[in-house]
Amino acid sequence: MIFFDFHHHYKNSVSGIYNAEPGERPSAGLFSAGIHPNYISDHNEETIKWLYETAQNENCVAIGECGLDGLLATDFQLQKEIFHRQILLANEVNKPVIIHCVRKFYELIPFKKIAKIPMIIHGFNKKEQLAKDMLKHDFYLSFGKSVLHNLSLQKLLEQFPVQKMFLETDGQDFEIELLYRKTAELKKMTPEELQEQIFTNLNNIGISVPE
Ligand SMILES: [Zn+2]
């Protein structure tokens, strides 16, 4: 069984959504395309042009990862502007947004109000209260490797609605199956039931996965 990896950076992986790098045109499989705050520079028009073209590709199932990063030196106003433009694009092409966020979670909320499409915060490993607040604003959360060893995150997952979650490897080298097994155990489900639920969630955010 191949478990669905919601967000990863491995070009050769057969499962899930590959995150394309600016300028790249993936040839096979589902992918997401966006401008990570790391890629913001003084001349973004070229990257934005790439994104607008790439977003039309039928295998491009989401815009992202993009978002707000409080640890980067990049001007925060500029980060917000580039994020905003990507949300408008996502609205236009009717594709969900995969969000990268560091320390600026509450600043995502005004953007959620602009978005007409679902938003998924990837790599979530923060506190339960923050998860609840994000849930209240209708964000989905995608969880990664931290779930395997972070006890407070495991407790959070026990309470977290399975209808609002995804699972991912991101840039970490480990088997996604381990994460499905651990999460299924926490949710008192079988890994297969969890996978089924994740497919339903994907469907709910407008992503159809080829058989
Ligand atoms: Zn990533």
| Domains of the chain by residue range | 18-204
Residue for token pair 């495991």: 154
For residue 163, the CA-to-ligand 1 centroid distance in Å is: 22
Q: Which residues are annotated as a binding site?
A: 65, 100, 122, 170
Give the pLDDT of residue 104.
Answer: 98
Annotated binding site for a divalent metal cation: 65, 100, 122, 170
Distance 122 CA to ligand 1 centre (A): 8
The C-alpha atoms of residue 183 and residue 204 are separated, in whole angstroms, by 20
Q: Where are the alpha helices (DSSP H) in the chain?
A: 45-54, 76-93, 109-114, 128-136, 151-159, 176-187, 191-204
Output the CA angle 162-164-165, nearest 5 degrees.
Answer: 70
* Both structure tokens of 8: 């990863």
Local confidence pLDDT in tens for the 211 residues of the chain: 789 999 999 988 878 999 999 999 887 899 999 999 999 988 899 999 999 999 999 999 999 999 999 999 999 999 999 999 999 999 999 999 999 999 999 999 999 999 999 999 999 999 999 999 999 999 999 999 999 999 999 999 999 999 999 999 999 999 999 999 999 999 999 999 999 999 999 999 999 987 6
CATH number for the domain whose boundaries are 18-204: 3.20.20.140
Do the Cβ atoms of 187 and 162 come closer than 8 Å?
yes
Ligand 1 centroid to Cα of residue 69, in Å, is 13
Judging by DSSP bridges, how do beta strands 97-102 and 60-69 pair with one another? Answer: parallel
> Are residues 68 and 37 in contact, defined by beta-carbon separation less than 8 angstroms?
yes
53 alpha carbon – ligand 1 mean position (Å): 21
User: Which among 79, 89, 99 has a CA at the least distance from the CA of 19?
Assistant: 99
